[in-house]
Amino acid sequence: MMAEPARRQLDKDLPRIVVHTPEFLKRHREPEIAARVAINQARDAAVLEVMEIARSIIAEAQGEAVRILEAARAAARSERRTAVELPAVSSLPSFSDIVRETAEAHGLLPQHLLGRRKSRQVSVARHEAIARIYRARPDLSAAELGRRFGDRDHSTILKSLRKSGVVTRNGEGK
């Protein structure tokens, strides 16, 4: 790096430019201002274009939403008509009624079928009750039947259904 006195000596012969004169400022700032104005105008045009695209996308989405709502309403009307034609769950026999009838037919109490007793008479009656409920109440799964029959596992219910001849080994109904 050059020493300060040596640099001053070299700069001494150079012409002085005064940057605060109006002519200098006009000459050097006008292109900068013009460039800034052009940039601002381009930015404003881009913003307007993006806004217009956004408006068209929103309008298209609103139209699609209206179409989807109409399709959903039509499907709901169709489902309502179909639901009226299907039997209501309340028209199905109740779980407790089937258990009570089966227990009475075998000379037992309903608590015996729902409990942990393992005597032959209780087991046969329990298998029959499970089979009758499985046929009469398709809305109850094997897991739900297991819970209602003394918190038994669903595989126990499936074994009972196989023993009763209601389902085969691969799970198909007879």
Question: What does the alpha-carbon distance between residue 154 and residue 145 come to, in Å, rounded to a whole number?
Answer: 7
The answer to whether the Cα torsion of 114, 115, 120, 122 is positive or negative is negative
Tokens standing for 146? 């297991």
pLDDT digits (tens, 9 = 90+) for 33-72: 778 888 899 999 999 999 999 999 999 999 999 999 999 9
Q: For residues 136 and 96, is the Cβ–Cβ distance under 8 A?
A: no
- Can you name the CATH fold of 90-164? Chromosomal Replication Initiator Protein Dnaa; Chain: A; (1.10.1750)
Question: What does the alpha-carbon distance between residue 130 and residue 119 come to, in Å, rounded to a whole number?
Answer: 16
Strands (E), the chain: none
pLDDT digits (tens, 9 = 90+) for 120-166: 999 999 999 999 999 998 888 899 999 998 899 999 999 988 988 88
pLDDT digits (tens, 9 = 90+) for 70-88: 999 888 887 776 655 555 5
